[in-house]
Amino acid sequence: MHFSADTPLGYALLILLGAVASGINAVAGGGTLISFPVLTIPFGIPSRMANATNSTGLWPGSLSGAFGFINLFKQTERQLKLLLVPTLLGSIVGALLLVSTRQKIFDAIIPVLILLATGILAFQPYIKKWAANQPKKLPMWVGILLQFLVAIYGGYFGAGMGIMMLATISLTVEGNVHELNSLKNWLAVVINIACTALFFFQRLILLLPASALVVGGLIGGYVGARTSQRFDPNKLRWAIVAYGVVMTGVFIHQAMTKAH
């Protein structure tokens, strides 16, 4: 079944999609694994455009999350200043890589990217625990390098970026999980704004679907944050992991079909 974003039904479904993806991000993470395949398959949006549109449509959720931690901003203000430039540069590099990747090549590597993001989500608790239990923090220059690399990934695809960022930040920055989340959310906003600007000038963003995702994301992010404690994040996370595995198979099938 295919939908058009240019119809009232399509617009309503995109708002719902943005709400669901942002709500999932607020509860367990992995919302991009839901929204990107839907944009690509039922709506038939080419994968590069779907990726750029998805990044644009969901970043307001990151912004609202960042403001949700505004009371903790002072604790990580110094680290934010140190990581700001590598984050900005990395996100631009990642976005430029996406722009320069041919559609056929991007279609071929989508299954790898989705499987990688699914794996990161599956091992999320273990990644967080490992990072938190490191007895000695690494030098800040290592954190700057790691953040640059994570920002490249975020600019290129982005699914699972928040989990990766939280883990790498934990290796170099002192603070509790809420303080580190505050830093992560502000850095995610930087990545997504930089990508959005570049994608816009490269005409990779479909404005109608992106605006519908923004509307839904603002609703879903707020509702998800308000109701997150009513859900078991582990059950939701494993449901998304299962969905990600299925989508990996779907995209592998699509890539093989196109190859023939």
- Considering the domain boundaries, does residue 1 fall inside one? no
pLDDT computed for residue 226 by the predictor:
65
Q: What is the pLDDT of residue 204?
A: 93
Residue 105 lies in a domain: yes
Assigned domain for 3 exists = no
Q: What is the pLDDT of residue 122?
A: 84
Its domain, for residue 202, covers 8-259
Q: What is the reported pLDDT for 20?
A: 86
Nearest by Cα to 169 from 149, 143, 193, 191: 143
Q: Would you write out the chain's pLDDT as a tens digit for each of its 260 residues?
A: 677 777 888 889 999 999 888 877 766 667 888 889 999 988 989 999 999 999 888 877 767 666 766 666 677 778 888 999 999 999 999 999 999 999 989 988 989 988 888 888 888 788 777 776 767 677 888 889 999 999 999 999 987 788 788 888 888 887 776 677 778 878 888 898 899 999 999 999 999 999 999 998 888 877 766 666 666 777 778 888 888 888 888 888 887 776 66
Report pLDDT for 73. 66
The answer to whether residue 253 is domain-embedded is: yes
Q: Decide if 31 is inside a domain.
A: yes
What is the Cα–Cα distance from 53 to 38, expressed in whole angstroms? 12
The per-residue pLDDT for 59 is 78
pLDDT of residue 32: 85
Q: What is the pLDDT of residue 33?
A: 85
- Tokens, residue 226: 């308000």
Structural domain includes residue 2 = no
pLDDT of residue 86: 96
Look up the pTM and report it: 0.84
Q: Confirm whether 224 is domain-assigned.
A: yes
Q: pLDDT value at position 150?
A: 93
Q: How many domains does the chain have?
A: 1
